[in-house]
Amino acid sequence: MKLTPVTIGDLTLEVPIIQGGMGIGVSLSRLAGSVAKNGGMGIISCAQIGFNDPLFERAPFKANMKAIKDQYEMAKTIAGNGIVGFNIMCATFKYEKYVQRCVEVGADVIISGAGLPIHLPELVAGSKTKIAPIVSSEKAAKVLLRTWAKRYTRTADFLVIEGPEAGGHLGFKYDGIENAIANMDEEVKKIIAVAKEYGEKFQCEIPVFFAGGVYDRADIDHYLELGCAGVQMATRFVVTEECDAPSDYKQRYLNAKKEDVKIIKSPVGMPGRAIENKFTETIKTKQIPIAKCRSCLSYDHCDRKTIPYCITEMLLNSVTENPDCGLVFAGSNVFKVNEMTTVPALMKELSE
């Protein structure tokens, strides 16, 4: 099966592969720009995007607002005419401000998950920015698209289905992940049917992309056969030379064995998939005191008295100090990764 371009409104995605957003500091301008240059959709993570700015420790929000513009402009310089956008978690503190800032700098797309982005349409109103919610079930897709249709008389420009084998935060209950893996193909078909229903209602196409455990061309073909327009991939892009993460972080991916991939609890209130290390061992038995709050999560997602650890601190550890003592998110197939590559080589491998 040949990979064909996907139309998203007035945008054309030449290669139907979205590079998933990975924070903190894993998917920034260099990775996103390189993916877009090679025909895919490059996605910058907004999660504490300004962490490298000297301003960050005393004014994280201000540093992040500045970095959104800087990172986007650098990515677009690399990308040329390629598509570059942002991933923004719904659980983000001042979520609305992050969305508005991404629109302001001219983002081609915004992909939003870690909750349902109910108000996203009003935040991008009047702009060229395309929007896509991340959903993990037919129910979530129906609730969101029905709400958008009723409240805003519009629908999604595309959908991202996040399956239970993804890295990072998962839209499933802890005890439901194995069952979800077994039944995900049927759920994908149901979500595609929902997208088709609302596409017909608004006389447009709503392309659907599948994310979670997509590793090679055989996986891509499988989801195309189910009816998806393309896929979203993240783990394989980490071990490219262009990935913004430091070499120590990438080495954790290269060293990972199948038994090292674990489901952990996240302060966001969702399960997450990460590589086992000293950090994951520690949180099994005790809380890790919060050294400093950097206002990463909204108040209803973060109770400093009860959360097991600060997610910003642990993600920062992974990319600035010692990955063994930090949170290293990864997809279920990270153990298959065994060598470094480049974005052009990876895109060529997946396309041919």
> Looking at residue 300, what is its pLDDT?
64
Q: What secondary structure letter does DSSP report for 348? A: H
Distance of CA 213 to the CA centre of its chain: 13
> Looking at residue 282, what is its pLDDT?
92
User: In terms of C-beta distances under 8 Å and separation of at least 24 residues, what long-range contacts does 120-129 make, across chains too?
Assistant: 121/148, 121/151, 121/152, 121/154, 122/152, 123/96, 123/99, 124/99, 125/152, 127/103, 128/10, 129/85, 129/102, 129/103
> Looking at residue 28, what is its pLDDT?
98
* Mean pLDDT within 204-208: 97
Rounded to the nearest 10 degrees, how much is the dihedral formed by the CA atoms of 118, 140, 91, 320?
-130
Of the pLDDT bands very low, low, confident and very high (cuts 50, 70, 90), residue 301 is low
CB of 31 closer than 8 Å to CB of 42: yes
Q: Which of 122, 130, 123, 193 is nearest to 161 (CA)?
A: 193
Helix (H, G, I), strand (E, B) or coil at 282: helix
> Looking at residue 30, what is its pLDDT?
98
Q: How many CB atoms lie within 10 A of CB 308?
A: 16
Per the document, the length of the chain is 352
Q: What domains are defined for the chain?
A: 6-246+337-351 (3.20.20.70), 259-335 (no CATH)
* Mean pLDDT within 108-131: 96
CB of 18 closer than 8 Å to CB of 41: yes
**CA angle, 37 then 22 then 135, to 5°:** 100
* Mean pLDDT within 203-232: 97
φ/ψ of 21, rounded to 5, equals -75, 135
User: What span, in angstroms and rounded, lies between the C-alpha atoms of 177 and 183?
Assistant: 10
Residues 228-287 pLDDT 10s: 999 999 999 999 999 999 999 999 999 999 999 999 988 877 889 999 999 999 988 888
CB of 107 closer than 8 Å to CB of 86: yes
User: What span, in angstroms and rounded, lies between the C-alpha atoms of 328 and 276?
Assistant: 8
For 283, the token pair is: 């949180």
Q: Is the pLDDT of residue 299 over 90?
A: no
Of the pLDDT bands very low, low, confident and very high (cuts 50, 70, 90), residue 306 is confident
Of the pLDDT bands very low, low, confident and very high (cuts 50, 70, 90), residue 223 is very high
What is the average pLDDT value for the chain, to the nearest integer?
94
Residues 29-41 pLDDT 10s: 999 999 999 999 9
Residue 29 burial by Cβ neighbours in a 10 Å radius (0-12, 13-18, 19+):
buried
Element (H, E) at 179: helix 177-201
User: What span, in angstroms and rounded, lies between the C-alpha atoms of 169 and 164?
Assistant: 9
CB of 148 closer than 8 Å to CB of 247: no
